[in-house]
Chain A
Amino acid sequence: MITVRELAKHYRVHERAPGMRSALRSLFRRTYKTVRAVDGVSFEIAAGERVGFLGPNGAGKTTTLKVLSGLLHPTSGAVTVDGHVPQRRERAFLEKITLVMGQKQQLIWDLPPAETFELNRAIYGVPRARFDETMSELTALLELGELVKKPTRELSLGERMKCELAAALIHRPRVLFLDEPTIGLDVSMQVIFRDFIKRYNERWNATLILTSHYMDDVAALCPRVIVIDKGTLSFDGSLETLVQRIRPEKRVVLRFERSVAAADVAALGMVVSHADLVATLRVPQDAVRDLVSRALATLPVADLTVESPPLEEVMSELFARSRAERDSAAATAEAT
């Protein structure tokens, strides 16, 4: 469905130091630097896959999505989406895709969302019967109800995002590019979003690429993740494999019946935290059984859970490692 080969997107940006002198100098002589937003990324995504794009700010995730949706022309490399070259922005291609950006909107600000839905129906040429069917599904699943009749400007962020998503799906796109779709939403709204997107993917076998800073979005929706950092691909595989590779360990959370001395908890293994009646320990996977047995035997354990490390921690460690590798490579290059 999606093929990306050695994709690169470089920008030439004007830069100048702060201050009046620099401002005057830049009037006559400008200095530019090349930013490699995406630098040689390759991957393939099959029809119906749900893929999470992960990476720190400025990693190149949004740039990649914009290239895939045809908004940006690549500097080099080859991209196809369902047989189309996105940058040509052919009508047949635009009818197959949608791009939802959490920080940009397509709803008409002063009119109720129902008007934008009607407009999209006309622009995408959706037959009336199919439009009505899609709208009743979207209304039920996203609990749109009376929202569609209120002017967009009077909707809350969460209500607006639900309507944005509905507007983006009226033409039943086969490829969904979602760029931070849950940004700013409360937890319950995020859950509604995730459930809805998963259902849409399963019902229509739609291909989905999601970028999100909320790791819960990615964990709930994307069996596969692609990690981009500084424009290069640093991981492509299952979320589980990523976690195993970066943090091959588990968290054991112990809840005690009464207070326990810190030394007694420390005797079990590496303590991540210990406060009041709860302690969290980090333990290699193959030592979980042993630690649990010892804890149950020696401490007044009321309850225990075994968890994977938080995804946020895994990601920050991954990015820290990438940074360290880059710094080390740069230092080596400088030394030689």
Chain B
Amino acid sequence: MSGISRALGALPTMARVGFADAVAYRAEMLIWILATTMPLVMMPLWLAVTRDGPVQGMTSSDVVAYFLATFIARQLTSCWAAWQINWEVRQGSLSMRLLRPISPIFAYMVEHLTALPIRLVIALPLTMTLLVVLAGETLPDTAALWALTVLSMLGAWVLTFFVQLAIGALSLFMQSSIRIMDVWFAGYMVFSGYLIPLRMFPGWVRGVLDWLPFRYQIGLPVELLTGAHALPEAASLVVRQWAFALLAMAIGIFVWKRGVARFSAYGG
């Protein structure tokens, strides 16, 4: 049996065990969800800003739709691979992972993806209801735009996962790469649209942000979910997002492989 068919054969069990692990601690799971509620905190702040009229073309109902969509996108695209890899390197448990006859990258992906369903069960119905009731007219209005929205959610997850894989794998070269992740996360918070809608930035800053990966980690799926783009523009942005995702994938796999080789050369 080839490595790929073995991995696919193991997938259902890996997914089931990953899900069981994700729901093992109910309190921890709820805290994690609460930790990602920053968009719901930002919503009233931006509502105060837009109370007297639209700011940069954004009305109060746009603000509501935007931050509800941001909350949904955050639930669907969050990932903690960088922290996990750092912890495993430090604890030495990476050795046990490397001894299993399955790609560690594939195993990390499955572990992280299987944590999503429970967050969907808890977070999505409430938020989608609010989004439809409060801002239903902003949702994508064609099947093609919905398809692009789903594709951009997936692209955001792939981009986030491989960025975290690359940064996490840097811990195989240095004592810890958590600080690097902190710096990246700071950039993500400010420039991705997570806390500040990107249209609030001056035009030249938005021009720069178009060519940085942060927007494609959360901003683009949110823009598509709130109907900010017509089909041709949406398609072009999703293509650009996947280009970033594939680049992150190439970098992540490269850094991981070099890191594991170094780990094998110097310690373990």
Q: What residues make up the interface of A, taking CB atoms closer than 8 Å to B?
A: 11-12, 66, 69-73, 87, 89, 91, 94-95, 97-99, 101, 103-106, 108, 110-111, 115-116, 118-125, 151
Contacts and interface: CB of A to CB of B under 8 A. Distances in A.
B21 interface: yes
Contacts of A94: 99-101
A334 to B, nearest CB: 31
Interface of B: 1, 3, 6, 9-10, 12-14, 17, 20-21, 24-25, 91-93, 95-96, 98-102, 261, 264-268
Given A89-B98, A91-B101, A122-B10, A72 B17 contact: no
A72 B102 contact: no
B25 A110 contact: yes
A123 B1 CA distance: 12
Contacts of A99: 95-96, 99
A253 B99 CA distance: 48
Contacts of B265: 72-73
B21 A118 contact: no
A101 B92 CA distance: 11
Nearest to A121: B13
Contacts of A116: 17
Contact of A71 (B6, B25, B91, B99): B99
17 contacts: A11-B267, A72-B268, A87-B264, A94-B101, A99-B95, A101-B95, A104-B93, A105-B96, A111-B21, A115-B21, A118-B13, A118-B17, A123-B14, A123-B100, A123-B102, A125-B6, A151-B24
Contact of A69 (B14, B91, B99): B99
A95 B101 CA distance: 7
Classify the secondary structure of A's interface with B: mixed
A126 B165 CA distance: 29
Q: Which residue, of A87, A103, A110, has the highest number of chain B Cβ atoms within 10 A? A: A110
Contacts of B96: 99, 101, 104-106
Contacts of B25: 110
B20 to A, nearest CB: 6
**Would you list the 4 A-B pairs with minimal beta carbon distance, nearest first?**
A122-B13, A110-B24, A122-B10, A94-B101
Contacts of B95: 66, 71, 99, 101, 104
A71 B268 contact: yes
Given A99-B99, A115-B17, A123-B101, 6 more contacts: A73-B261, A95-B101, A110-B21, A115-B20, A121-B13, A124-B101
Given A108-B17, A110-B25, A115-B17, A73 B10 contact: no
Contacts of A125: 1, 6, 9-10
A118 B15 CA distance: 12
Contacts of A71: 95, 98-99, 264, 268
Contacts of A87: 264
Contacts of A124: 100-101
A111 B20 CA distance: 8
A300 to B, nearest CB: 58
B256 to A, nearest CB: 14
Contacts of A66: 95, 268
Contacts of A95: 101
B13 A73 contact: no
A122 B18 CA distance: 13
B3 A91 contact: yes
A122 B12 CA distance: 9
B1 to A, nearest CB: 6
A67 B100 CA distance: 16
Contacts of A121: 13
Contacts of A120: 100
Contacts of A69: 99
A129 B221 CA distance: 46
Contacts of B93: 104-106
Contacts of A105: 93, 96
B166 to A, nearest CB: 21
A69 B268 CA distance: 12
B26 to A, nearest CB: 11
A113 to B, nearest CB: 12
Nearest to A12: B266
Nearest to B12: A122
A123 B9 CA distance: 8
Contacts of B10: 122-123, 125
